[in-house]
Amino acid sequence: MALAADGGEGVTGEVAVLGAGMHPWGKWGRNFVEYGVAAARAALTDAGLDWQDIGSIIGADTVRGGYPGYVAGATFAKALGWQGARVTSVYAACASGAQALDTARAQILSGLAEVVLVVGADAAPKGFFRPAGGDRPDDPDWLRFRILGATNPVYFGLYARRRMAVHGDTPGDFAQVKVKNAAMGALNPHARYRRRVTAEEVAASAVVADPLRLLDICATSDGGAALVLSSMEFARRHGHADPVRIRAVATVTPRYPNTVLDLPDIATDSAAAVDPPAQTFRVSIARAAYEEAGIGPEDLSLAEVYDLSTALELQWYEDLGLCGEGEGVKLLRDGATALGGRIPVNASGGLASFGEAVPAQAIAQVCELAWQLRGEAGDRQVAGARVGMSANQGLFGHGSAVIAVR
């Protein structure tokens, strides 16, 4: 489906991206609020606006940062200086940033606010993520640690094994994803890891969850990201004649039965009496975004996907419709997803280069789309970028995909 240059027939509403900002990813050892405020101020400067101009602030939450993490919207508003703005806090695990963007868009399109600041930041723990303390036998995230000892890397390894068994992928193929993303992350000043790696270095790194090695799996990081969104009318009044626009945000849930295992669940739904849906959960996330935007995968200039592991990036190629089922490795080997290829994926460097700062990462993906669509991505610029898509997935059935256009 072709993209209409004027915004397209059937588009129900777009919002403008006026500003994008980040605090660099790393392990800085400071409070997450500091990272969020730095990102927010950078986004405001990029938009040419003051904090006083903001009518609403949406905070993407982290539940590990102590009590303020549960009320991130108000925490950031207080740190920036109380000025009476409407406030909302959103938690959807790794999809928190996309849910925050969706909330901001809804407020703008409904007329509740003309210009909205969206902020997410995290100060991640050392090592892999673990559930909050206490006994919660009705919490599937708690259960998968207690019953199976299934940390996130265990799941990544199982999913990699599934791709090897079903599609014939190899550990060498997984390593090439890291090589590609590290090369692009080396060009990104916001990335935590800015060094190219070789396939041999990946193969020589420690085994974490067979068949995946240390360099196949993303780290946990500190970082922050922010966006300033507005109505199209506000953008025009403030001199933004041709801004990047958010055309679609998909936040769908799975359908019963969900027969491809997703964290934190430890069993699939029964398909004994009900046929599986026509598409998997992640495929449905992408298709919902395409349908809302009135475009298809053939219209994309680039994509930012959730590469928690190298194998999961390959799965996203197929879930986004960039290739057929089982053809992700061929797309990679052909160089299509590298910078200069047909459809660059993770030109930012992805989580391979950033690591997880959970509430910030879906926002950071859209920051990258905004910079690419403006032609401001420097040495990692995708030539002629006009349409970008981001995708990730939050625990507990939180879908997340955003389509931005210019």
Q: CA-CA distance, 73 to 80, in Å (whole number)? A: 11
State pLDDT tens for residues 231-257: 999 999 999 999 999 999 999 999 999
The whole-angstrom separation of Cα 116 and Cα 187 is: 30
CA-angle at 92, arms to 103 and 366, nearest 5°: 60
Q: Where are the beta strands (DSSP E) in 251-386?
A: 302-305
Q: How confident is the model at residue 1 (pLDDT cuts 50, 70, 90)?
A: very low
DSSP string, 302-319: EEEE--SBHHHHHHHHHH
Least confident of 52-56, 61-65, 79-83, 242-246: 61-65
Query: In which residue are the tokens 């590469």 written?
Result: 307
Q: Tell me how many degrees the CA angle 290-248-227 measures, rounded to the nearest 5.
A: 140
| Mean pLDDT, residues 180-209 | 98
User: What is the spatial distance between Cα 218 and Cα 392, in angstroms, rounded to a whole number?
Assistant: 14
User: Among 239-243, 257-261, 379-383, which stretch is predicted with the lowest mean pLDDT?
Assistant: 257-261
pLDDT value for 68: 53
Is the CB of residue 115 less than 8 Å from the CB of residue 228? yes
pLDDT band at 387 (very low <50, low <70, confident <90, very high): very high
Q: Is the CATH number of domain 15-127+223-244 3.40.47.10? A: yes
Topology of domain 140-217+245-405 in CATH is Peroxisomal Thiolase; Chain A, domain 1 (3.40.47)
Whether the predicted model's global pTM rises above the 0.85 cut: yes
Q: How confident is the model at residue 83 (pLDDT cuts 50, 70, 90)?
A: very high
How high is the mean pLDDT of the chain? 92
Using one digit for the tens of pLDDT, what is the confidence trace for 111-157? 999 999 999 999 988 888 877 778 888 888 888 888 888 889 999 99
Angstrom CA distances, 14 to 8, 145, 219, 257, stand at: 11, 41, 34, 33
Beta bridge partners of 394: 398
Find how far residue 100's CA is from the centre of its chain: 12
Give percent above pLDDT 70 in the chain: 95
User: Which residues make up the CATH 3.40.47.10 domain(s) of the chain?
Assistant: 15-127+223-244, 140-217+245-405
Closest CA to 254 of 288, 219, 217: 288
Contact 35, 121 (CB under 8 A): yes
Q: Which helix (H) or strand (E) holds 246?
A: strand 244-250
335-370 pLDDT, tens digit each: 999 999 999 999 999 999 999 999 999 999 999 999
Closest to 56 in 3D by CA, of 227, 223, 225: 227
The arithmetic mean of pLDDT across residues 61-85, rounded, is 81
